[in-house]
Amino acid sequence: MHRITLAAAVVAVASLPLMSRPRVASGSVTDARAIWSDVSAYVTQSAEDMSDSDYAFRPTPEVRTFGQIIAHIAGSQHLMCAAALGEPGGSEDDVEKSKTTKADILAALKASNEYCARAYAQSDDQVSGSTKLFGEAHSRFYALMLNATHDNEHYGNIVTYMRMRGMVPPSSRPSPKS
């Protein structure tokens, strides 16, 4: 009896890879796009929700204001997505140095999201090509993953700023019922 149970377990475990094939290969640009899409939506919603006056809010004098964080994300996204597209990208602090109002910063963020959407729409073959980012050679896929990681890093800052202003960040809000 134990041999039959053991044999059945071995067959079941051995067949798992066949039964649970993912629809998309792991490590694909589709995975990177999914991660980036979520965080970019959270960042954009946060930027829209914060008041004009709170764009100047900073918890301590040593850190960026809320507006500077959003502007930094916009400029960094443009730089990293340009690298992922194999295009020139400018400087990551271009937006932070040139935009100061909520309207201008939000417009720059939305423009960088549209630009990045092109980068994340590439095929796996396209993103396997090489690019330069911060003076180092990397794959274009690396640039996409670094962008998503960087956005997530700063979304963590945004969450703290929003909580300090008595706001609930987008990722903590109840999801709409279907």
Distance of alpha carbon 40 from alpha carbon 34, whole angstroms: 10
Question: What pLDDT does 127 receive?
Answer: 93
Least confident segment among 18-22, 25-29, 92-96: 18-22
Going from N- to C-terminal start, the domains of the chain cover 27-168
CATH no. for 27-168: 1.20.120.450
What is the per-residue pLDDT across 128-148, written as a single tens digit (0 to 9) for each? 989 999 889 999 999 999 999
Q: Name the residue among 80, 89, 87 with its Cα closest to residue 144.
A: 80
Query: Within the chain, what is the greatest distance between any pair of CA atoms?
Result: 75
Binning the chain into helix, strand and coil, the percentages to the nearest 5 are: 65, 5, 30
Most confident of 7-11, 91-95, 118-122, 133-137: 118-122
Exposure class string for 95-120: b at 16+ Cβ within 10 A, else e = bbeebeebeebbebbeebbebbeebb
Distance of alpha carbon 102 from alpha carbon 54, whole angstroms: 9
| CA angle 150–156–160, rounded 5-degree value | 150
What is the per-residue pLDDT across 33-62, written as a single tens digit (0 to 9) for each? 999 999 999 999 999 999 999 999 999 999
